[in-house]
Chains A and B, each alone.
Chain A
Amino acid sequence: DVVQESLLKLLTARYIERCPAPEPVLAAPVKEETTAKKRGPKSAKTNEESETIGQRVLAAAAPMEAQRFLFVTNAEAAVRGEKRMDDSPNVRVGEKRKYDASELDGESSVEEDEVVLWRANFEEFIRRLRHKACIENVRERLDDGAAIVLRAVLEATRIPLSLNHIFEEVMKSKEGRDLKTIIELVQNDEVESIVLKRYGRDAYRIFRLLSKNGHLVETDKISDTTFVEKKDAPKILYKLWKDEYLHMEKLVVAGARQSQFLLWKVKKPTLWEHVLDEMFHAALNLSQRVAYELEKEKENETVNTKDKSPRLNIVVHLFLTKKGLCILILLILVVLPSLNNLITVYVQFINLHVDKQVMSREERLNRLRSVRILLESSLLKLDDALMLFHDFRESSLLKLDDALLLSHD
């Protein structure tokens, strides 16, 4: 059965997993005599940790690690008859091998007549995408050899079972740190390229200086080091500060002549959140624009098929004259109270009118296709960058450190 085969393949690669139980029962912690030692201590720890009811429910609902990727063919289920779920399956969870029918008999267990629901394993997806992003970045920075090594390292450390202990130790601790550095570098690149494109080369240098420094720098020192005109530096700094890319502090020195100094700094955690915010905003914009372009096309279609009503014609003619423009605006103003609506409708009207006149149907469809491709591929690319800032925030990087330390034992 092709479907079953594909399902199995996905499962063994852990792209999909079992759904958690719909009505979990808070039972006493189940003793697990599963698999290898690695899994054991980890699950024991998880059981102990669940303090709150909420956590315990979730923990109970989530299928045990051993069960997550358990798959039984229908034939086997029928054969086995009744076997409790509590029985420890002798399945080696870590193995990527396909299920052997022989292994199942008499060993693993699943309740009869159980309908198993599957869902996509987001953890795995994100993990893989993360690895891919890091590898690509390393490939850029160093060379293909380094990228291959990194990929091997990342793949290997996922399944601790199959690795040599000593090798593991070295790789894991090094990997964690390297991963963190790579991520920081990529995040920096992303933000710096925004600054370059939005504010210019001088601002780019200034931003990089402050970003590398990490402490407060005075305006004059900035303009000296970055070779920016003393008169221009304050303007650039102010713009960056206003858009929340820089932090500013005033220093007043009371001396013979009271003078005021301005100090500037990049605050990364705050800035990273701000950038993340902008990225979500941009993602929304992209998808909105796609929707808009599609709507426009639909409208074009309907307008084309409708009779060219004489009223519309008159309006169009009026529109083309200056006087007509005013009349049109007044008309709309009367009808719609809010200024917002006025302008939106106006602009949409223009767009509609102009497009309709200028392009043939085929041209329009071609354009639409290119537009969709551009917008949607940009959205995908942006999604990667979003992951970089969302999943790798300082807090989660610290968790990564912890996780690595834990599994190190």
Chain B
Amino acid sequence: MSRLQALSSMKRKRPDSDSPSQSLTEHERLLYDLIRSKQDMAIWTRDMKRETNLPDNVVNKSLKSLQAKKLIKEVVNIQNKGRKHYIAADFEPSKEITGGTWYVDGNLDAEFINFLKKHCVKIIYEQKVVTLEGILDTIKRSRAFNVEFTTQQIEEIVNALVLDNEIMEVKSTGMGEFDSVPVGKVCYTCKNKGGLKGEPKMGAMASIPCGVCPQISLCTPEGVISPRTCVYFTKWLDF
């Protein structure tokens, strides 16, 4: 899957198949050179038209032809998804264009990320206390993924899990359950006792309609929106 290949963040460079020189028209050559010169940054069609001063239909036709010859490819620029961008076939779009390791076609690969997150939580829960390297190691050995992750990538995932309040980041004391970890090292442990204990404790405010209400600033005792007329209340009190 090309998705997973992208993760290894190695710039794939095809062996120099620079034989396009024969079959390109003048316009195609012009455009191709321009696109190539942008390297991994890709270029927007409008910019291309501007810089080459070629008429629209010529540009469009040439682009189609180049694409067919597999010399260029279309990429999604995450900053400007509506605009068509093209890049030379032997370059990989840069991080600014794609959005980073976790982006596919301009969107977050939510499925993959969630899967990876759950996997990490499982590892942390099983091992009670584990460092970043420990997690990386376990993943490598489990062969659950056919791609290698960098420490940074796992760190990003784990930090997101901390923000989700599913795990806790702690410093090792070297004692007790931390005895396998050197003192002061950062490691991770599961938040909930027994993992699937259920919903975390909800605040007092969050358990009533007002705490969740998007209109709370508009609500007044005598107003159009008031506790007496509030539909959220009515729904909540509907036994």
Contact = CB atoms under 8 A, between A and B. Distances in A.
Interface of A: 140, 189-194, 196-198, 201, 204-205, 208-209, 224-231, 243, 275, 278-279, 281-282, 284-286, 288-289, 292-293, 339-340, 343-344, 347-348, 367, 370-371, 374-375, 378, 381-382, 384-385
Contacts of B227: 284-286, 288-289, 292
Given A278-B205, A281-B216, A282-B208, A367 B239 contact: yes
B229 A281 contact: no
B204 A344 contact: no
B239 A190 contact: no
Contacts of B224: 339-340, 343-344
Given A198-B213, A340-B224, A381 B207 contact: yes
Interface of B: 78, 81, 99-100, 102, 107-108, 113, 156, 159-160, 163-165, 200-208, 210-214, 216-217, 219, 221-224, 226-230, 233, 236-237, 239
Contact of A378 (B78, B207, B212, B217): B207
Nearest to B113: A227
Nearest to A383: B204
Nearest to B114: A227
Contacts of B207: 378, 381
Contacts of A192: 165, 203
A133 to B, nearest CB: 11
A381 B205 CA distance: 8
Give the most central of B108, B208, B226: most A CB within 10 Å: B208
A340 B210 contact: no
A281 B203 contact: no
The B interface, classified by DSSP as helix, strand, loop or mixed, is loop
B67 to A, nearest CB: 27
Nearest to A143: B193
Given A227-B113, A344-B228, 19 more contacts: A189-B201, A190-B203, A193-B201, A197-B202, A209-B163, A227-B160, A228-B108, A243-B217, A278-B205, A281-B216, A281-B219, A285-B219, A285-B227, A285-B233, A292-B227, A340-B223, A381-B207, A384-B204, A385-B203
A368 to B, nearest CB: 10
Contacts of B208: 282, 286, 378, 382
B211 A194 contact: yes
A201 to B, nearest CB: 7
Nearest to A374: B237
Contacts of B219: 281, 285
B102 A227 contact: yes
A198 B201 contact: no
- What 10 pairs across the A-B complex have the smallest Cβ distances? A282-B210, A193-B203, A385-B204, A285-B227, A190-B203, A205-B163, A193-B206, A381-B204, A288-B227, A197-B206
Contacts of A367: 237, 239
A292 B229 CA distance: 9
B166 to A, nearest CB: 11
Contacts of B206: 190, 193-194, 196-198
B163 A279 contact: no
Contact of A340 (B160, B200, B222): B222
